[in-house]
Structure 1
Amino acid sequence: MALPEVLLTAVGGDGTCGVRAWALPSALPLMAYRGGSTAPRSMCVLRGEYVLAAQAGKQYINVWETQRKDQLQQKVICPGVVTCLVASPDGLHIVVGIAESLYVWETSSGGLLDVLCRHYQDIMCLSFADDGGHFVSGGKDNLAIVWSLAGILRNGEPRHVWNQHTLPVMDVCCGVGGVRARVATASLDQTAKLWELGSGLLLFSVVLGMPVTAVALDPAEYWLFCGTSPGTISVVPLHTTKREQMVQINAEEKNCLRGHKAEVTCMAVTMDGGMLVSGSADGTVCLWDIDSGQCIRTIPHKGPVNALLLASRLRGVLSNAEARPSLPLPRFSRLPRTAEAGGGTDFFIAPEEQIYSNVLSSWMGSVGEQQSSSLSTDFQWDSSLGFGWATQGLSCLVLKAFLCCFGCMLGVIVLLEATTWLPGPCKELDHGYS
């Protein structure tokens, strides 16, 4: 039995609406998360416990706990105005588009893994593959770029760069199948293109004769849905389309859904593949029956619908449970860990360095308990400033230098003390020092 899905919608323009949850297919309101207007394509659900939505035109992300309505829980401060936002299906990572850069955060620690600067104009859209191993970004520079999380941690380079679009990429959608999935991209150049994620090959292009602003795939990848700037939605059958490089679609054909009066901004398909949900700049959300092509529900909103998504596991939304999130949301770092190491925050002493610290403490115990305790404390404080991220070789070098200086100081002290009781030339040497 399929899990019931919840529709989340976010609007812009009105600062009080925030995010709303709706039951499907009845379209009954379930929850309201108030706190501000949402930027286009900037809403996601984290582990089914948090709803994240970027504030339009601001440098922060609003965060709500799913089971607590009408209460803004937290604000995540970002380095710039957020243009798009997505979370991995497993909830381990969050990718945020800020201007032409991508910020990749780890949700368990809040650490900033990397800042990716491959686009050279604003990033418009993001989409994760269903296995969480890859994500795709599209921007005003006409590029769609495939990123691998493993590749980001290794060298920060993208897996594929698709440059076949001639105008800004407005939306991307990843199908199911992990690295074997297909990716659909929508562009203002009046085309929607279908790619293979693993190989990066272009399968075919769909020419619609009008700017394409949103795109969606059903789970079985039988249909490709293309939302346009006039408000129509073209339905492209993938299971019967001939294997041609380019397909021409006439907007007057029967496979065209009409119900919106303005640009289609976002779309999603239910898990069973039977219903399409579309949002528009005219402030309406339409529920479509895919088999018949009929609009079965229309949900009005008080502003343009900038983002929507379907979620099957939202804690406390479909029930009255008041359970708190299993993990608290950490404070997100604004700088990569390599840049923050000099500041002494959010770092730890490595195990091998702790061994050297223990050896030094035990050796200094023979000199004196108070001096040993003091110097060990100083060594631990220095470790928090820099030793936590140094390599083992660097730690050995610093330790040797410290011991050498300490030995020289002891030698000078012994020499000065000896001159106070040695006769003859040593007394003259003592006078020389004084």
Structure 2
Amino acid sequence: MEDEVVIASSSTDVGIGCWDLRSGAEHLRYRSCASPSHGLVSVAGRFLASSQLRDSSSGSVLFWSWNKPQVEVKSFPAEAINPLACNSEGSYIVGGGVSGDIYLWEVATGRLLKKWHGHYRAVTCLVFSMDQSLLISGAEDGSVRVWSLLMIFDEERQQRSGHLYEYSFTEHALPVTDIVTGYGGSNAIIVSASQDRTCKVWSLARGTLLRNIVFPSVIDAVALDPGEHVFYAGGRDGKIYIAELNSLGKSNSNYGLHIIGTLSDQSKAICSLAFALDGLQLVAGSEDGFVRVWDTKTHNIIRVFKHAKGPVNNILVIRQPPALYPRTSANNQGLMARKQVSLPPPLEKFTSIDEHSDFSIYIPPQPDYQRPCDATYATVDTMNKQINELQQRGSCGASEMEIERLKADNERSMQMIQQWKKMYENLHQFCVGELLSGEGDTTV
């Protein structure tokens, strides 16, 4: 079993707590953090970043390294930022502003690459799709919007479309409180929660509403079971509701249609939820300042962490960074010190990119939304051409990471081709055998 850590923060200035998931031992407590909901991220496991809301008109984004409790890098965006999100490689950070604007920064340089108006009111949630090609946002105006990163940087495509987003879902009547996305890239489902006491399940492939579930309480946090059979919804009544994604009939539960049970210990409102890497342990942060770890099979609490006074409105569960492993000797300390990675510069307040700059960004090809298909089924020739084009452009960090990803996709596609060839050969032999045996029966 991999070592994992639970990271928690609050809207009150009590810092960031960090515990070992298995032993319960607390690591460093990172100071000076008062983060809004969805305002805490681990940037590819390299460092922690959190937005800060001191008042409605100003804010900051802070960076911490793993082995120091003090803030090391402070950024002051053009407006207060609510949610933060980063892609899996940690090359980009996205922030949602209180004005409804969305900002995209390059981590390595701190450059503001793009700013666009996403919603009519403050952005509350941001999440990347699993294949990193889409960004999904939710806001106080009740809308959920799906953004193609290719569209964001392609002015010609924007003009043809007439708007930036791929989809705009407006069925929620009140502010969106949380969004989670499943597996499958552009074919995934997303689940959105709202203060209107509903969770809605959407299809990214078709841009349609698949299911609407009404809960007895306002839902502030959602976690999707890795098998995507159910999802868990944390309510302000202290219950964690279990809702089915695929059931066709009526639920036997007293809580409502498609709700099949609850996890409850009479705690206060549930503010945040996250699954451990094993997909069995559900970690919940609540308004009473506690973090509880649930076994989803037995429906029992197996561990409790005390954070501090104030709601635990952000929970992360990640692999334990090397800087947090125990240091048993001076030699180990020296080794860790040499391996420390310096933090990136502050995030720019305004964009510094103009038409004469040498900036370039690579966004992988997007799927055709009129034809549901998995983005990984690109042809080998297409991926080889993309790799060659990237190698000719230069060796910037983002392009190098994209080259490695495309090479991995290429290898997977080759394996798939070999599997299809083998299946075809087996099917061909079977058909020939059936034909020959049929002819033999006729002649008898």
TM-score by length of 2: 0.71
Residue of structure 2 in register with 1:40 after alignment? 37
Q: Please point out which of 166, 169, 177 is paired with 1:170.
A: 177
Displacement after TM superposition at 1:261 (Å): 3.0
Displacement after TM superposition at 1:305 (Å): 0.7
Q: Please point out which of 39, 48, 53 is paired with 1:51.
A: 48
Contact 1:208/1:248, CA 8 A, preserved across alignment: no
Displacement after TM superposition at 1:349 (Å): 10
1:268 and 2:283 matched:
no
Contact 2:73/2:345, CA 8 A, preserved across alignment: no
- Per-residue CA deviations over 1:361-394 (Å, capped at 9, x if unaligned) read xxxxxxxxxxxxxxxxxxxxxxxxxxxxxxxxxx
Partner Cα distance (2:196, 2:253) in 1: 14
Partner Cα distance (2:252, 2:294) in 1: 24
Consecutive unaligned residues of structure 1, counting only runs of 5 or more, are 351-434
Displacement after TM superposition at 1:324 (Å): 4.5
Displacement after TM superposition at 1:181 (Å): 1.9
Displacement after TM superposition at 1:26 (Å): 2.9
Partner Cα distance (2:209, 2:340) in 1: 42
Which residues of 2 match residues 10-409 of structure 1 at below 5 A? 10-13=9-12, 15=13, 17-57=14-54, 58-66=58-66, 68-99=67-98, 100-155=100-155, 157-238=164-245, 241-242=247-248, 250-251=254-255, 255-259=261-265, 261-302=267-308, 303-320=310-327, 321-326=336-341, 328-338=343-353, 347=357
Partner Cα distance (1:90, 1:130) in 2: 12
Could you say if the C-alpha distance between residues 285 and 117 of structure 1 is closer, same or farther in structure 2, counting changes exceeding 3 Å? Answer: same
Displacement after TM superposition at 1:122 (Å): 0.9
Could you say if the C-alpha distance between residues 192 and 249 of structure 1 is closer, same or farther in structure 2, counting changes exceeding 3 Å? Answer: farther
Displacement after TM superposition at 1:56 (Å): 2.8
Q: Judge which range, 88-97 or 173-182, deviates more.
A: 173-182
Could you say if the C-alpha distance between residues 149 and 325 of structure 1 is closer, same or farther in structure 2, counting changes exceeding 3 Å? Answer: farther
Partner Cα distance (1:251, 1:27) in 2: 33
Partner Cα distance (1:272, 1:75) in 2: 34
Contact 2:33/2:50, CA 8 A, preserved across alignment: no
Q: Tell me the secondary structure at the aligned position of residue 165 of structure 2.
A: coil
Residue of structure 1 in register with 2:366 after alignment? none
Displacement after TM superposition at 1:207 (Å): 1.2
Partner Cα distance (1:51, 1:222) in 2: 31
Q: Tell me the secondary structure at the aligned position of residue 322 of structure 1.
A: helix
Partner Cα distance (1:145, 1:349) in 2: 27
Partner Cα distance (1:330, 1:81) in 2: 19
- Per-residue CA deviations over 1:86-128 (Å, capped at 9, x if unaligned) read 1111111111111111111111222212112130011111112
Residue of structure 2 in register with 1:369 after alignment? none
Partner Cα distance (1:80, 1:300) in 2: 32
Q: Tell me the secondary structure at the aligned position of residue 41 of structure 1.
A: coil
- Per-residue CA deviations over 1:198-247 (Å, capped at 9, x if unaligned) read 322222111113211111102221221011111111011335x1179xx7
Which is higher, the Rg of structure 1 or of structure 2? 1
Could you say if the C-alpha distance between residues 27 and 200 of structure 1 is closer, same or farther in structure 2, counting changes exceeding 3 Å? Answer: farther
Contact 1:33/1:71, CA 8 A, preserved across alignment: yes
Displacement after TM superposition at 1:326 (Å): 4.2
Could you say if the C-alpha distance between residues 274 and 337 of structure 1 is closer, same or farther in structure 2, counting changes exceeding 3 Å? Answer: same
Percentage of pairs with the same residue: 28
Size of the aligned set, in residue pairs, is 338
Contact 2:270/2:285, CA 8 A, preserved across alignment: yes
Partner Cα distance (1:9, 1:349) in 2: 36
Partner Cα distance (1:265, 1:323) in 2: 38
Could you say if the C-alpha distance between residues 317 and 199 of structure 1 is closer, same or farther in structure 2, counting changes exceeding 3 Å? Answer: farther
Q: Tell me the secondary structure at the aligned position of residue 316 of structure 1.
A: helix
Contact 1:219/1:271, CA 8 A, preserved across alignment: no
Contact 1:49/1:315, CA 8 A, preserved across alignment: no
- Please provide the CA RMSD for this pair: 2.4
Could you say if the C-alpha distance between residues 323 and 309 of structure 1 is closer, same or farther in structure 2, counting changes exceeding 3 Å? Answer: farther
Q: Tell me the secondary structure at the aligned position of residue 322 of structure 2.
A: coil
Partner Cα distance (1:313, 1:26) in 2: 13
Paired residue type of 1:184: V
Partner Cα distance (2:252, 2:272) in 1: 23
Partner Cα distance (2:171, 2:319) in 1: 35
